[in-house]
Structure 1
Amino acid sequence: MTDIWAANAPPLVTARRDRYDADVVIIGSGAGGATTAWALAGSGARVLVLERGGFLPREPENWSPQAVFGEQLYHNAEPWRTPRGKRFVSAAHYYVGGTTKVYGASLPRLRESDFGAVEHYEGTSPAWPFGYAELEPFYAEAERLYRVHGHQHGAERPGDPTAPPRSGPFPHPPVEHEPYVADLERRLRRQGLHPFPLELGIDLAPGRSCLRCGTCDGFPCRVGAKSDAETRALRPALRRGNVRLLTHTRVTRLDTDRAGRAVTTVHALREGRPVTVTAGRVVLSAGAINSAALMLRSANEQYPDGLANGSGLVGRNLMLHNSSVVVAVDPRRRNPVTFQKTLAVNDYYHSGPSGRYPLGNLQLMGKVRPEMLPGACPHGLRAGLTAHSLDWWVMSEDLPDPDNRVTLAPDGQIVLRREPTNRRAHRELLRAARRMLHRAGYPLVLAHRMGIDATGHQCGTTVAGLDEARSVLDPLCRSHQLRNLYVVDGGFFPSSAAVNPTLTIAAQALRAARLGGLLD
C-alpha cells in the first residue's frame, strides 16, 4: 500500500487504512481549517486535513433557486434540537470548504472598537485578549489570500465611517454597483448617510472567472469564482506537497494521555469504517458548534465535563448574531439588478439616531428569488414581490450569555439553547432601516427575524482569554489545559461584533499558525 506521505502520493488520500499518522491533524476544512492548512503548506510538517463531507459538485443545480432553496439540495447536516426537543435544520454544510461553499463572500474586518469592551443597551460586550493592531497584518494577508475587493476611504468618495486603520489598500478595487444600486447609493447619501462598497471575496481580477451572476449569496459557485475556503486556501495548500486530505471522515472522539496533558488519538469513521489518527498537534476547526460538541463528547476521567473544560465554558456563550431579512418594495419600479450585494451602511454601527449605544450593520443581500420566500405565499405574488424588491441583511451584535450554549442529548445529538440578547438594539436598527428605506422611496418594508436555525455566524463556544479560569483557549487559540490542542474557528470569539466573522476567523488562523507554536 502506498504511503500517503510518499512523494508521488496524491493529496486526496484514497488509501484505506485503519490508522494514519501526521505531525499536524486539522479537523474541518472551512475557513479556520483550510486557512491553517494553507499557512502550514510548504513547511515540511506532515499536515492531514479531515473533512466529514466530500466535494460539493459543480453542476447546473448550483445555480437553481428551486434546487438550492426549494429542495435544499445541498443541506447535508444532521438535525439539531432545542432543549424542548424541537428539531431544526441548521445552516451547517458538510463539504470540503465547509459552509463557505454557500456563504455570500462578505469579508469585512471587525471594527477597531470591537476588540475593546463596548457598552450596549442590555449589557457589555467583553474585550478581546488582543487588540486590532495585533491582528491587522494577518487581516491584510487574509484579504490577499481571499482576494477581497474593497474601497479605500478617500475625499472624492467617502467610504465606511467606521473603517479600521489599514497598513495598505485592499488587494482589489471595489465591486462596481449596477445602475439601480448606484442610484440607491445617491438616495442614501442625500439623507446624510455614508453607504460604501461591501467588502467581497470574488474573482474579478484580469482573466476573471466571476460572471457576476445572480446566484452567489447562498448558492454554491459553479465556476469557482467565489472565495470559499476550498478554492482559495485548501486547494493551493494541497499542491504544496506536505498537505493531505481525507474526505468522508467524521471525527467522533479525541483521547488524551493518562495525565490529561495532550491529545494522543483522534477517532473517526471514514465512510462508516473506524479509523484512528495520531499527530503531535491537533487543530479543531469544525465550526463553533460542532467543535464544542466534539469536546463534550470527548469527556474522560481527567475531563469529566468535556475535553479541556476546566473553566466550564466549553459550549457556553454561544452567539449567532441578531439578524433579520428586510425586503423593501417599490411597486412603481422594478428592480432589474443581477448582482445586488455590493453596498452596505454602517452609520448605526457605533450609535443609533436616538442614543449612544451601538445598533449594527446593514448590507445588501444577493437578490431574493420567489423560491426563497415562504411557500404558503402564492408563487405569482412572490414573483411580483421579488421583481420590485430591494433585499437587505440587518445584523446586530449578540452578547455572550453562558446560558446560551451547546449541549448533547442522551443520544449524542446536538442541542442548542439560545435566547437572543441585545434585542432592543436590533429593534432600533430595524426602525432605522425602515425609516432609511421609506425616505429612499420604498413605501412597503417587510422584516423577517431569523431564528435559531440561522447558524452561519456561530461563535463564542470556546472563548479565548488570558485567564484560564474564564476562558478555554489562550490568545493564539491553544487550549489552556491541553497544550497540543488548538481550536481555530469562530468558537474563540469573546464577542460577536456586528459584521460577518469569516475574515476574522481566517486572519486568526494565520496568526495562530505563525505565532502559536504549531510548527515548534
Structure 2
Amino acid sequence: MTRADVIIIGSGIGGATLAAVLAPSGRRILILERGERLTPSSWDRDPNAIFADGRFRPDETWQDGEGKLFSPGNYYCVGGNSKFYGAALIRYRAEDFEPRQHMGGQSPGWPIRYEELEADYQAAETLYNVRGVTSEDPTEPPHSGDYLYPPVPDEPDIADLRLRLQRTGLTPSSVPLGVDIDRWLAHGQTTWDAYPNTCGGKMDAETNALAQALLHSNVELQTGAAVQRLITSDEGRVSGVEVEGRGTFEAPLIALAAGAVQSTVLLLKSANENCPTGLANRSDQVGRNFMNHNCSAVLAIHPLRRNRSVYQKTLMFNDYYNAAGNGVLPLGNIQMLGKITGPILASQTNLPGPIAALIANRSFDFYAMSEDLPNRDSRVTVQGQQIRLDWKRSNWQAHEALVARLKKHLRQAGFPIVLSRPFDRRTPSHQCGTARMGADPSLSVVDTHCRSHDHRNLFIVDASVLPTSAAVNPALTIAALALRAGRHIIETEFAA
C-alpha cells in the first residue's frame, strides 16, 4: 500500500488505538513502524539481560542539556514502549484538567474538562481490558460504567501490606491494570513491569488495539519503516511521508504517533521553505514544554520479614494527590513497583549480588510520582541527526515532600529501614508535552481534537499533546485522546 487514506506513524498506544477506532470505516489505513515485532526469546524473563545488559534498549544516544551523551530508555518495536510498560491504566483525576497551584508553580490545566473525555476513558478501559474497582480510591473521578473485570488480586504479603498501610491512616486502593495475570505467570514467575510482553499477558498496544485493527483487511502494518520526514504542499497540507529505503507514501490524512521526543524530531526535521522552523510550529511550541514525571524508588525493609511476592504491583494510594485535609499543596501518587529482585537491584547499584539479593528478598518496593510542570525552556531540539533533550525539572520540592511522607507512613507500618533513590534526570519517566494541546494557535500545536493548528490534515495522537503531566501514568489518557481524535476524524473527514 503506497497510497492510503490515512497514514499513521507509530504503533504505540496512540497510533494503535487510533487505528482501532478508524479500522471499521473501511478507509485504507497504513501504519508505519520503525521497529519490528518482538518475538519470544530466552531473554524475556532474564533480569540480567533486561536490566544489566540492556538487551532490548536501542543502540542510540541523545544529548542532555549540558551536551553529555546518554542512552535513552525508549523502545522501538511494534507496540512501542507499551511492550515494556507497567500496565497501570489510570485515569487522570478530574482536578488535573483544572488550573491549580503546586509547590513549584502553577499548572495551567487543559482546554477541555474531565467530563469531555470521560466516555473515551470508558471506551479505552474496555479496549485494553482494564481490571479495577471504582470504590476504593476517594480521588477516583466519576465513571459512567464499572470496570469489566475485577482487580488483579493482591498476593498474600501485599494484602498484609494493605492492612498495615490502612492502620497508619492511608487509603490504599487497587491499581487499574491491563494484565491477564494467569497468562503472564504461565510464561514465567516474574513481575511484568519493565519486562517485554511476548506472551500476550499484558494488554499493550500490539496485543489489544493493533490486533483489533488488523482484523480489518483495509489496515496494513509495515515494520522496519523509519520515517525520515513529512512532506507538505504549497497549500500547507501534509501530502506524504518519506520512508528510509522505501520512497514516498502519500495520503490525504497523516497521524503522527511516534512519541513525545520522536514526533517532535520528525516535525523539526521536516522544515522547508514554507515552514522554516519545522512543521506545525508557527507557535514556536514544537519541542517546548517537555515534561517527565519526578519519580523515586522507595524500598521498605524489615530484616526479619521476607516479601514472597512475585509481581507485587497491585496497590497504590492517592492520599496526597490533591492534598485534601493535609494543609499542603498537591504532592502526587504512590504505587507499587514491579517486584525488585536481587539481579535488578545489583544492576542499578554497586551492591554485590548476594547483598542485593538479601535486601530485595526483604523489600517492598514503591514508586513515588509527582507532577512536572510545563516550562517552555524545557525542550527537545535536533541538530542534524543528533537529538538534544534539555529537561528543566520542576516541582521537586513537592516530590521531596511526597517521599518524606511515604517514608513516615512506612516506618509506622512496621518497616525500620526505608531507602529511597530518585530516578536519574535522563530516565524517561512518562515523557510528554512537546506538541501541547490548546485553543490558542499562538500558544499550542494541536487543537482539542489533536488536529494541528497549522496543517488541517495532520493529527498528533501521542503523549506530546498532553498540556500537563499530572501525577499518574499517562497511557490510558493517551488512548482516550486517540479515541476522541478518531471519532472526530470519522465525523469530519470521512462523513462525505
1:383 match: 357
1:226 aligns with 2:198: no
Match of 1:331 among 277, 280, 303: 303
2:431 match: 458
Q: Please, what TM-score do these two structures have when normalized by structure 2? A: 0.96
1:27 match: 9
How far the C-alpha of 1:72 sits from its partner, in A, is: 1.0
Alpha carbons 1:267, 1:277 under 8 Å: kept: yes
1:512 aligns with 2:482: no
Question: Secondary structure of the equivalent of 2:143?
Answer: coil
Alpha carbons 2:191, 2:312 under 8 Å: kept: no
1:196 match: 173
In structure 2, what residue type is equivalent to 1:222?
Answer: T
- 1:123-272, aligned counterparts within 5 Å? 123-153=105-135, 159-204=136-181, 209-211=183-185, 213-259=189-235, 261-269=236-244
Q: Deviations over 1:22-77 (max 9, x none)?
A: 10000000000000011111211100000000001112311111111111111125
Alpha carbons 1:99, 1:456 under 8 Å: kept: no
**Aligned partners of 1:378, 1:60: CA distance in 2, in Å?**
24
Alpha carbons 2:240, 2:254 under 8 Å: kept: no
How far the C-alpha of 1:518 sits from its partner, in A, is: 4.9
Gaps of 5+ in 1: 5-19, 154-158
1:498 match: 471
How far the C-alpha of 1:303 sits from its partner, in A, is: 1.3
1:403 aligns with 2:377: yes
Question: Secondary structure of the equivalent of 2:261?
Answer: helix
- 1:276-315, aligned counterparts within 5 Å? 276-315=248-287
1:487 match: 460
Gaps of 5+ in 2: none
Question: Secondary structure of the equivalent of 1:139?
Answer: helix
Question: Secondary structure of the equivalent of 2:367?
Answer: strand
1:40 aligns with 2:8: no
In structure 1, what residue type is equivalent to 2:17?
Answer: T
How far the C-alpha of 1:382 sits from its partner, in A, is: 0.5
**Aligned partners of 1:393, 1:493: CA distance in 2, in Å?**
22
Alpha carbons 1:60, 1:222 under 8 Å: kept: no
Alpha carbons 1:92, 1:456 under 8 Å: kept: no
Question: Secondary structure of the equivalent of 2:184?
Answer: coil
Alpha carbons 1:308, 1:481 under 8 Å: kept: yes
Q: Please, what TM-score do these two structures have when normalized by structure 1? A: 0.92
Alpha carbons 1:468, 1:480 under 8 Å: kept: yes
2:41 match: 59
How far the C-alpha of 1:353 sits from its partner, in A, is: 7.4
Q: Deviations over 1:296-315 (max 9, x none)?
A: 11111111111110100000
Alpha carbons 1:188, 1:440 under 8 Å: kept: yes
In structure 1, what residue type is equivalent to 2:61?
Answer: P
- 1:438-477, aligned counterparts within 5 Å? 438-477=411-450
**Aligned partners of 2:399, 2:134: CA distance in 1, in Å?**
28
Question: Secondary structure of the equivalent of 1:341?
Answer: coil
**Aligned partners of 2:192, 2:212: CA distance in 1, in Å?**
22
How far the C-alpha of 1:356 sits from its partner, in A, is: 2.9
Question: Secondary structure of the equivalent of 1:76?
Answer: coil
How far the C-alpha of 1:285 sits from its partner, in A, is: 0.1
How far the C-alpha of 1:267 sits from its partner, in A, is: 0.6
In structure 2, what residue type is equivalent to 1:231?
Answer: T
How far the C-alpha of 1:215 sits from its partner, in A, is: 3.1
1:17 match: none
Match of 1:368 among 323, 340, 360: 340
2:367 match: 393
**Aligned partners of 1:32, 1:487: CA distance in 2, in Å?**
9
How far the C-alpha of 1:453 sits from its partner, in A, is: 2.7
Alpha carbons 2:450, 2:460 under 8 Å: kept: yes
Q: Deviations over 1:414-468 (max 9, x none)?
A: 1000121001100100101110111111111111111233214011100011110
Alignment coverage as a number of residue pairs: 489
**Aligned partners of 2:331, 2:337: CA distance in 1, in Å?**
19
**Aligned partners of 2:429, 2:241: CA distance in 1, in Å?**
26
How far the C-alpha of 1:171 sits from its partner, in A, is: 1.5
Return 397-406 or 144-153, whichever deviates more. 144-153
In structure 1, what residue type is equivalent to 2:66?
Answer: R
Alpha carbons 2:452, 2:459 under 8 Å: kept: yes
**Aligned partners of 1:348, 1:297: CA distance in 2, in Å?**
41
**Aligned partners of 2:426, 2:72: CA distance in 1, in Å?**
5
In structure 2, what residue type is equivalent to 1:23?
Answer: D
In structure 1, what residue type is equivalent to 2:210?
Answer: L
**Aligned partners of 1:314, 1:278: CA distance in 2, in Å?**
23
